[in-house]
Amino acid sequence: MTNQKDKTDSFEKKMKTLSCEDQDKILEEFKKRIHQEFAAYLNTCAHCGLCADSCHYYLTSQEHENIPAYKLSLVTQIFKDTFDSFGRRFPLFFGAASLNKKKLREWIDVLFGRCSLCGRCTINCTMGINIPYLIRAARGALASAGLVPPGLQSTVDTAVDKGNNMGISKDDWLETIEWLEDELREETGDQNAELPVDQKGARLLYTINPREAMFFPLSISAVGKIFYAAQESWTFSSDNFDVTNYGLYSGDNSKAGLMSERLIKSLNHLQCSELILAECGHGFNSNRWEAPEWLKLNYQFEVKSILEVIWNYIQEGQIKLDSTKNPDPVTLHDPCNLVRLGGIIECQRDIIRNSVQNFIEMSPNREKNYCCGGGGGQLAMTRYAERRIKAGELKAQQIKETGAKIVATPCHNCIDQLMELNKHYQLGVEIKTVSEIVADAVVLE
Partner 1 sequence: MPYIEVKDRKIEVNEEGFLVDPEKWNKEIAQALAQSQENIEELSADHWKVIDYIREYYLEKNLAPMVRKVCQNSGFKLKYIFQLFPSGPAKGACKVAGLPKPDGCV
Residues 60-119 that bind partner 1 (CB under 8 A): none
Instruction: Kindly state whether residue 279 participates in binding partner 1, applying the rule CB under 8 A.
Output: no
Tell which one of 130, 199, 358, 382 touches partner 1 (CB under 8 A).
382
H or E element at residue 206: strand 204-206
CB burial class (10 A; 0-12, 13-18, 19+) of residue 20?
exposed
CB 95 within 8 A of CB 76: yes
Residues 219-248 that bind partner 1 (CB under 8 A): 244
Tell which one of 63, 175, 293, 328 touches partner 1 (CB under 8 A).
175
**Four-CA torsion 342, 302, 414, 223, nearest 10 degrees:** 150
Minimum distance from residue 68 beta carbon to partner 1 (Å): 24
Tell which one of 60, 144, 158, 237 touches partner 1 (CB under 8 A).
158
Instruction: Kindly state whether residue 436 participates in binding partner 1, applying the rule CB under 8 A.
Output: no
| CA distance linking residue 317 with residue 308, whole number of Å | 14
Interior/surface letters 347-356, b for 16+ CB within 10 angstroms, e for the rest? bbbebbebbb
User: Of all residues in the chain, what percent are helix, strand and coil, respectively (each to 5)?
Assistant: 55, 5, 35
Instruction: Kindly state whether residue 216 participates in binding partner 1, applying the rule CB under 8 A.
Output: yes
Q: Say whether 129 sits in a helix, a strand or coil.
A: coil
Minimum distance from residue 275 beta carbon to partner 1 (Å): 20
Of 131, 77, 132, 133, give the one whose Cα is nearest residue 104. Answer: 77
Instruction: Kindly state whether residue 336 participates in binding partner 1, applying the rule CB under 8 A.
Output: no
Tell which one of 39, 127, 385, 443 touches partner 1 (CB under 8 A).
385
- The residue type found at 165 is N
Instruction: Kindly state whether residue 390 participates in binding partner 1, applying the rule CB under 8 A.
Output: no
Which DSSP state fits 205? E
Of 370, 295, 184, give the one whose Cα is nearest residue 303. Answer: 295
Size of the site for partner 1 (CB under 8 A): 41
Tell which one of 114, 211, 255, 432 touches partner 1 (CB under 8 A).
211
Instruction: Kindly state whether residue 161 participates in binding partner 1, applying the rule CB under 8 A.
Output: no
Instruction: Kindly state whether residue 250 participates in binding partner 1, applying the rule CB under 8 A.
Output: no
Give 162 or 269: the residue with its C-beta nearer to partner 1: 162
Give 175 or 346: the residue with its C-beta nearer to partner 1: 175
Residues 361-380 that bind partner 1 (CB under 8 A): 379-380
406-408 and 430-432: which strand pairing?
Answer: parallel
Instruction: Kindly state whether residue 305 participates in binding partner 1, applying the rule CB under 8 A.
Output: no
Residues 405-434 that bind partner 1 (CB under 8 A): 412-413, 416, 419-420, 423
Question: Which of 58-66, 161-169, 227-235, 433-441 is the region at the interface with partner 1 (rule: CB under 8 A)?
Answer: 161-169
Give 161 or 445: the residue with its C-beta nearer to partner 1: 161
CB 66 within 8 A of CB 114: yes
Instruction: Kindly state whether residue 191 participates in binding partner 1, applying the rule CB under 8 A.
Output: no
3-state secondary structure 301-330: CEEEEHHHHHHHHHHHCCCCECHHHCCCCE
Give 182 or 190: the residue with its C-beta nearer to partner 1: 182
HSE-up of residue 70 (Cα within 13 Å, Cβ side): 16
Residues found near partner 1 in the complex (CB under 8 A):
1-5, 151, 154-155, 158, 165-168, 172, 175-176, 179, 209-211, 213-218, 244, 280, 379-380, 382-386, 412-413, 416, 419-420, 423
